[in-house]
Copies of this chain bind each other. A is one copy, B any other.
């Protein structure tokens, strides 16, 4: 049994144990497989463990007892998250993740070194992209295996799999919407709100809560209450993340300053700005937004447009409203254990604070 306070440590331990077993299995196929295993180890290290935390506390909210099965099941959501991040970085051509090279860049460097040694060999960029696609696939497969070998009985797993299927499809669908939004070159508030919901809110908060609760046998009343708490909280989390993607400190976000502006990320923040900017601002915005070679002055100019159009304030107001909605829902939720209530209230702060 584990104290509730040790979740990030125990999640790390579960991931390490699982990858140790996978490393042995893959070593039988070939020594080359040590490379993706090490990449998976590095990619699953660190992070705030938000999704495992919501899963864990959903389980406890439904009366589940702490122990190895829920910690392993919770960790499976971190594995799922790493899969999404690895593929996302390929799709966005991002160079950096959590202050380290993105997976595809890491594999690219590996191949470059190998070619330099042997004096021959293929395109390192192509190798990097291919290897990262496979690493993301492995993590997606492993997330599933971690969940169904976590130690829960078949009935509990059957209850949870409905939500696990839902979240995997929702986040992939949300990513597709996001890709369409980026590619459209246009602001579309309706689509930005749907990306917010499916790429982030259900995936980061609501479904992890549901998976944990279902493993403990929650009734529909609690499942619904967790949605009423989790959906606005998940949206507030992503709105904060969008603000940090533009205004965040690189030493905190682990990404270069203004990265989302260079990538042309179509968020609620930018959709609001486009809706409310003056004609002159809009022309400037269109000229600069999504350009890979933005310099510091140009990033500053885009930030000012987001400020002056009141898009930043609108997002801050939304975060406040949604955070309050989540806390009010928590007050009304059928949860008896005061420790669980406190943990879920603390997670509201952790998920939406400015120093995320």
How far is B35's CA from A175's CA once the two chains are assembled, in angstroms?
A: 13
Q: Are A129 and B184 in contact (CB under 8 A)?
A: no
Interface centre among A91, A154, A176 (most CB of B within 10 A): A176
Residues of B near A144 (CB, < 8 A) are 144, 165
Q: In the complex, are the beta carbons of B169 and A25 less than 8 A apart?
A: yes
Instruction: Mark the stretch among A4-12, A133-141, A248-256, A275-283 that contacts chain B.
Output: A133-141
A26 shortest CB reach to chain B, Å: 6
B183 adjacent to A134 (CB under 8 Å): no
Whether A177 contacts B91 by the Cβ 8 Å rule is no
Is A131 on the interface with B (CB-CB < 8 A)? yes
Q: Which residue of B lies closest to A194 (CB)?
A: B30
Contact of A114 (CB < 8 Å), options: B25, B29, B184: B184
A36 located at the interface, meaning its Cβ lies under 8 Å from any Cβ of chain B in the complex: yes
A145 within 8 A of B: yes
Residues of chain B lying within 8 A (CB to CB) of residue A155: 154
- Cα distance A142–B129 when bound, in Å? 23
A158: B residues at CB distance < 8 A = 154
A286 to B169 alpha-carbon distance, docked (Å): 44
Each complex incorporates copies of this chain amounting to: 2
Q: Answer whether A172 and B134 are a contact pair too, CB < 8 Å, given A30-B191, A30-B194.
A: yes
Which residue in B33, B91, B170, B176 is a CB contact (below 8 Å) of A176? B33
What CA separation (Å) do A312 and B35 show in the bound complex? 33
- Chain B neighbourhood of A170, CB < 8 A: 29
Is B138 in contact with A141, judged by CB distance below 8 angstroms?
Answer: no
Whether the Cβ atoms of A175 and B91 lie closer than 8 Å is no
Query: Are A91 and B129 in touch, CB under 8 angstroms?
Result: yes
Q: Which residues of B contact A145 (CB under 8 A)?
A: 165
Apart from A118-B185, A141-B169, what 6 extra A-B contacts exist at CB < 8 Å? A30-B177, A32-B191, A35-B176, A36-B176, A114-B183, A140-B141
Which 5 A-B residue pairings sit nearest by Cβ, starting from the closest? Answer: A154-B154, A91-B130, A120-B185, A122-B183, A121-B185
